[in-house]
Structure 1
């Protein structure tokens, strides 16, 4: 490989990474009502227990459980799409990925599965359901 090819690949990866950062920043700015950082930190232990319990539930489809196991692996991994030391968007990638996976779980398993396995309070579950709810388009 020539240095031009390597430079082109590196530039393409940096551009894709920059676009991802901009999209995460944009999502966090457009949806501040979803979950604040303070709420997310309070809910984190219950959320991790929920994901673990859902992943172990044999009543759920295998595809749903695989997604949950992959989500746990991503959350426990020290490697992130966006490093956590970057203000605001450092944790936004984790929040967006959790919301997307829980949204797919809600579609496949229904809210009953989340309610059945939720270890925390009802207001905490309401925040999780709100964060994972499909985005409604304005007419």
Structure 2
């Protein structure tokens, strides 16, 4: 298998696991800490807005290549095996039926709120003093 094929397979697994976390967040046997991290990861992953915009050289893709897969991996590790198997099956069925990952407006709102909070904090700390 070529490197390109390995990368495509890896990207498909990351995408499937992101949808898996979407289903795990609604599963009653998912522990609260996995749900909390999973909600954040899914909101960020499904948001059309990135925390670090892609037009910023190098850093723009760090979240897509390192941060997001790392958070997905960590959250997957926190899930009980039976929940993971059930949610992966649901994710596979969803991806075959819909052909795309779901979108999250709440995720977009969360990212915009984080940017606004960071801007407000920077203005407060670095802004003019009376």
Q: TM-score, normalised by structure 1?
A: 0.45
Higher relative contact order (CA 8 A, sep 6+): 2
Q: TM-score, normalised by structure 2?
A: 0.47
